Amino acid sequence: MKASLWIFLLCFLLTTKTIAQDINWKVDLFSFFDNTEFGRSKVQVPQTMAGTQLAPEFGIRWDSLHSVSVGVNLLHEFGSNKAIDKFSPTAYYEFNRKQFRFLMGAFPRNYVIEKYPRIFFQDSITYYRPNINGIFWEVHKNQNYFNVWLDWTSRQSPTRHEAFFMGFSGKYNIGVFYLQHFGYMFHFAGVMNPVVQEALHDNGLFLTSAGVDLAGMTIFDKLNVNAGWVAGLEDARSEQTGWLKHYGLLVEARVEYKGVGIFNSFYKGASQMAFYNDHSNELYWGDPIYRAKTYNRSDLYINFIHNKVVNLKLVYSLHFVENTMYHEQSLKATFNLNNF
């Protein structure tokens, strides 16, 4: 037995030495304070979200193409009497070769949804659901890209719904002009052996837009505007609603100079999220404020520090909805340290 064990350990070390060309590690720290003032609003709630995420990760890369990484994302909420309020394991395989990238496992959500507008994913998703559990594949060249992804968000049990996303997005640049698309389908089934039958929901959200990026032709570091058509599709099968369709216009613009900027988002169209009163944030991960037919958000921000290691950003947001102006303040700090 001892001889067999030593032989196994020797073979393992020799194999590891041959295959494992690089050992990678990184430590991410993300701290957020987000205060929303939506008193008396019918489409959003006032709340303060604040906490710190610590996400160490260790990986092995071989052939400069393949890697396996393991780690954890630990969330501590400000004011909590717990050291760790939420534990999200990280473990995934990655293939990365020139224009192709493939990931499978549990990996950071910002790899996938970082470019998605808030109508798809509200800020709190990044705070409290930091990892995707599924698959991501992307082909990219320069600033052009196309990707598809799967996120299995809930495994069915007697108390939990079965739920998953299937999404895709892409962007194609033509000089200073560009076309972009974001989309997903969300499948939301019932719990196992339900006492009361619930409708199985499928909802899709799609945005196709065209824009112009003039940053390289002006003194501004960023100067970008785009306009697109939003299509929301929803179906509650057993209720025989058929496909409910919600269309609208979304216009976004950003101007930034030396870390100081303005980002404006304007929506006009049909109310989204038809079944929000039934399932709220379980069924919809986008900002519920888009249940309003007219909405404008203006972010005034300062990037105090912005480099590869540290990013410190202060944002003051004005929300114009329901014939009222609401306020929001947020301060976010990220620290990223790695050996690659």
Burial degree of 248 (CB within 10 A; 0-12, 13-18, 19+): buried
Task: Give the C-alpha separation, 177 to 312, whole Å.
Answer: 30
Asked whether residue 32 is domain-assigned, the answer is yes
For residue 25, tell me if it sits in a domain: yes
129-179 per-position pLDDT tens digit: 999 999 999 999 989 999 999 999 999 998 899 999 999 999 999 999 999
Cα–Cα distance between 156 and 163 in angstroms, integer?
8
CATH number of the domain where residue 283 is located? 2.40.160.100
Let me know: does 169 contact 147? Beta carbons within 8 Å.
yes
Q: With respect to residue 5, please indicate whether it lies within any of the assigned structural domains.
A: no
* Greatest alpha-carbon span in the chain: 79
> Structurally, how many domains does the chain consist of?
1
In terms of Cα–Cα distance, which of 252, 250, 255 is closest to 232? Answer: 250
CB atoms within 10 A of CB 216: 9
Q: What share of the chain is helix, strand, coil (3-state, %, to 5)?
A: 15, 60, 25
Task: Inform me whether the pLDDT recorded for 92 exceeds 70.
Answer: yes
Residue 276 sits at the vertex; the CA angle it makes with 270 and 280, to the nearest 5 degrees, is 140
Does 243 fall in a domain? Answer: yes
Q: What is the mean pLDDT of residues 81-101?
A: 96
Token pair in block for residue 26: 């990184």
How many separate helices (H) and strands (E) can be counted in the chain? Answer: 4, 16
**pTM of the entire structure?**
0.91
Spatial contact of 253 and 225, defined as CB atoms under 8 Å apart? yes
Domain assignment of residue 1, yes or no: no
The answer to whether the beta carbons of residues 232 and 191 sit under 8 Å apart is no
237-249 average pLDDT score? 91
Which residues lie closer than 8 Å to 153 by C-beta, 6 or more apart? Answer: 129, 133, 163, 164, 165
CB 101 within 8 A of CB 113: no
pLDDT for the residue 17: 53
Write down the residue that tokens 């630990």 correspond to. 74
Helix (H, G, I), strand (E, B) or coil at 233: strand
Residue 2 lies in a domain: no
The pLDDT tens digits for 1-47 are 555 545 554 554 455 555 547 899 999 999 999 999 999 999 999 99
Residue 299 lies in a domain: yes
DSSP per-residue string spanning 53-117: EEEEEEEEEETTTEEEEEEEEEEEETT-SSS-SEEEEEEEEEEEETTEEEEEEEEETHHHHTTS-
The model's confidence at residue 126, banded by pLDDT at 50, 70 and 90, is very high
The pLDDT value given to residue 146: 98
In a domain, 7, yes or no: no
Which domain does 204 fall in, by range?
Answer: 16-338
